[in-house]
Structure 1
Amino acid sequence: MIAKNEEDVLYRCLNSVARAVDEIVIVDTGSTDKTKDIAQNFNAHIYDFPWEDDFSKARNFSFGKATKDYILWMDADDIMKEEDMRELIDLKSKFDTTIDSVTMNYVLEEDEDGNSVFSLRRNRLVKRANNYMWIGAVHEYLNVYGNIINSNISIYHKKVKNSGDRNLKIYENRLKNGEMFNTRDIFYYGNELYYNNFIPKAIAQYKKFLETEDGWVEDKKTACANLADCFYRIGDFKNELRYSFKSFEYGIPRADFCCRVGYHFLNNKQYDEAIFWYSLATNLPLEENSWGLINNICFTWLPHIQLCVCYSAKEEYEKAYRHNKIAEKYAPNSNMVKQNKMFLEKVLSISSRL
């Protein structure tokens, strides 16, 4: 792990995983708070590394300090839930040492019911002897190859503070220094512009990325999604729809893009068209073991909530109620589900007396 000023979250992270690991290595990149003190309470091996605006350099240094056969990496604001920690212990007890890497699900956000909203898969447990290297100053990735297996273990991102424009500044400093961005950098620079609300610049960067021939297909899908949102924000609904459809060039339509198209028609009160796209979303399977960023709720309760809205607008209340019931199975604590239920039960009871 690399860390800097993580006193608010480090205990939570280390406490969630300490029983499952044989050593803890913390590389501190300049903390001025109690980060090191907290790490010492877990008997961590602590090393200092001067921050150079390059995450890969720090991570590669941290990997170089590991001494066990396999390396599990996490960020300070990540946690492992009890059931996942136990599954990791079980995995270790019967581990096949021909395995080079174990992937785990990375959950970036959860809803009120603990359902994964956004997630992706990452190489998490890797063989030390292979000397895998981190690549990229920002949004770095681990260059893994060999015998890779997928696990059911999840790691949860629980951010309590925003990094703001830190990553954007790193990219812009690299540009000022005359660096030429590779295809991956073009995409992630676009993301940072998007996150920091520089919408016209983000649009230009994403378009540039989509013109490349070597861009990863999952990144191209995400670029389409973010472009659609950019155009939505500036009121260009024609291009919002255009880039939602463009995502279909990169694979079978996904439920999240169908929901995006459905939302376009719902906003225009074109309810039949919206129903078509939301209904299609309900019939599309979630891509198992996807390495791309997935909006999971579009594969579960969200299209049913929106179908409830559409059918209510058409005064087809029984259909609306049926879809809200399906959504309730996934998200019983959702305020939207509860409000819909109250409204529809009232309407249907009135209708039954007429």
Structure 2
Amino acid sequence: MITISVCMIVKDEEPVIRRCLSCVKCFADEIIVIDTGSQDQTAAISREMGALVDTFAWNDDFAAARNSSFSRATKDYIFWLDADDVIDEVNQRKLCELKQHLDPSVDVVMMRYAMAHAKGATPIVFERERLLKRSCGFHWQGRIHETIATKGTILHSDITICHQKEVVNDPDRNLRIFQIMRQNDEPFSPRDWFYYARELNDHGQRAAAIQAYETFLSQEGWVEDQLQACYDLGVCHLRNNDREQALQAYLRSFSYEVPTSRICNAIGFWFLDVQCYAQAAYWFDQALRSTHRGGFENEDEHLFLPMLELAICYYYLKENELARAWFEAAKAQHPSHSLIIKNEPYFKREQG
């Protein structure tokens, strides 16, 4: 049986740290918490929960802080978490089983990461490198949105970690760090350009965001980021009332990968907005058919959303039987969803 070091970096996580650490006690052989400057009881609670707590002088570099936590690990494998991550009982049991039976030749175990940006929202699910063999010397890279370049034997598991953020302590932090990097003429990786663009976009700086997305797309980046950048570019252009540029941005994604559900839905909405219902229905149908997961997508984009929009398209095309069928299919996915409740009277009226 392998042994596991759980490694974390934290700052002012008093509301959630106990919840997080209670999720790992069943499989962790040691818990290492690196505090980057908490002013609350985060460190005291972590020690109370059995963690080894050390400090790291924060220098606007997440990779450096995570590498500091990894350097203190002593067990066979390292499992990283954020303080606002949660592992439910089902996935705790899966982790215990993995610990019991993992082939030591495995270097990296990928796990699902479910991120909900608001309570009750459908989470975005994607894979992250989560359990790493310590002897491989894996190293975090990137001051912001840090990542690890994986290598060796990789196992893809269905274990899911849920990211449940309660409070955003400093919503301007990431943009501020990027701006400092630019002021200091620090080189940007393609990944840096992508996330810099997203921060600009999130802060309403659309013109600068568009320029940063274009800079990213002119380089060799991860295909998941390229697809997301095309989608984000389309949204930026729509907010600028530049519909043609928005459509071109969506279509541009096809040069990187086969159509994803998110892009197909976006094109469907583009045609729906101009009441081209047959064209819109075509693209929502393509969203249902897409088997490719393009990075930051959620499950509703593959089933519920295109089903509901197909119902609406066929309603306006006066193909009532198809409209009702697609509405019932969407309703079966989320019977109490606000969009189902809002639209149901229209389809009941058609039945009447």
TM range (shorter): over 0.9
Question: What residue in structure 2 maps to residue 42 of structure 1?
Answer: 49
Query: Contact conserved, 2:109 with 2:132, CA < 8 A, in 1?
Result: yes
Distance in 1 of aligned mates of 2:109 and 2:189: 28
Which residue is equivalent to 1:327? 330
Structure 1: how far apart are the matches of 2:82 and 2:90? 19
* Count of residue pairs brought into register by the alignment: 344
How far did 1:176 drift?
1.1
What amino acid maps onto 2:127 in structure 1? R
**Alignment match, 1:258:** 264
Structure 2 residue identity aligned to 1:323: W
Per the normalisation by structure 1, the TM-score is: 0.93
- Identify the residue that residue 92 of structure 1 maps to in structure 2: 99
2:262/2:287 contact within 8 Å kept: yes
Q: Do the aligned partners of 1:112 and 1:333 also contact (CA within 8 Å) in 2?
A: no
Is 1:235 aligned with 2:238?
no
Structure 1: which amino acid aligns with 2:55?
Answer: D
Give 2:282's aligned residue: 276
Equivalence map 1:206-221=2 (5 Å): 206-212=213-219, 214-221=220-227
3-state SS, counterpart of residue 224 of structure 2: helix
2:114 corresponds to which letter in structure 1? V
Instruction: Choose 250-259 or 328-337, whichever is displaced more.
Output: 328-337
Question: Shift of the alpha carbon at 1:68?
Answer: 1.2
Asked if 1:301 corresponds to 2:308, the answer is: no
Q: Which residue identity is paired with 1:261?
A: I
Q: Distance in 2 between matches of 1:100 and 1:40?
A: 30
User: Which residue is 2:114 aligned to?
Assistant: 107
In structure 2, runs of 5+ residues without a counterpart are 1-7
Contact 1:321–1:341 (8 Å) recurs in 2: no
Decide which moves more: 103-112 or 154-163: 103-112
Structure 2 length as normaliser, TM-score? 0.93
Indicate if the aligned counterparts of 1:113 and 1:331 stay in contact, CA closer than 8 A.
no
Judge conservation of contact 1:17–1:79 (CA < 8 Å) in 2: no
From 154, 160, 178, the equivalent of 2:160 is 154
Distance 1:343 1:86 in 2: 45
Q: For the residues of structure 2 that align with 1:284 and 1:222, how far apart are their CA atoms? A: 16
Q: Which residue of 2 aligns with 1:181?
A: 188
Conservation of the 8 A alpha-carbon contact between 2:9 and 2:35 = yes
CA deviation after TM superposition for structure 1 residue 155, in Å:
0.7
Give the CA deviation at 1:69: 0.7
Measured after TM superposition, the shift of residue 342 of structure 1 is 3.9
Give the counterpart letter for 2:319 in structure 1: E
Alpha-carbon distance, 1:327 to partner: 1.3
Q: 1:267 to 1:194 in 2, by over 3 A?
A: same
Is the 1:3–1:27 contact (alpha carbons within 8 Å) kept by the matching residues of 2? yes
Asked whether the 8 Å contact 1:104–1:150 carries over to 2, the reply is yes
Q: Cα distance, 1:236 vs. partner? A: 0.9
**1:17-52 Cα distance to aligned partner (Å, 9 max, x none):** 222222111000000011112212211000011100
Segment of structure 1 superposing worse, 320-329 or 129-138: 320-329
Return the alpha-carbon distance in structure 1 between the equivalents of residues 336 and 90 of structure 2: 22
Aligned-residue CA RMSD (Å): 1.7
Structure 2 match to 1:197 = 204
In 2, Cα distance between the equivalents of 1:170 and 1:112? 28
Give 1:134-153 correspondences, 5 Å limit.
Answer: 134-153=140-159
| Alignment partner, residue 352 of structure 1 | none
| CA drift at 1:169 | 0.5
Q: 1:167 and 1:124 mapped to 2: Cα distance? A: 22
The corresponding residue for 2:65 is 58
Percent of aligned pairs with the same amino acid: 36
Which residue does the alignment assign to 2:11? Answer: 4
Q: d(CA) in 2 for partners of 1:92 and 1:230? A: 45
Secondary structure at the counterpart of residue 159 of structure 2: strand
The answer for unaligned runs of 5 or more in structure 1 is 350-354
C-alpha separation in 2, matches of 1:337 and 1:14:
38
Structure-2 residue corresponding to 1:68: 75
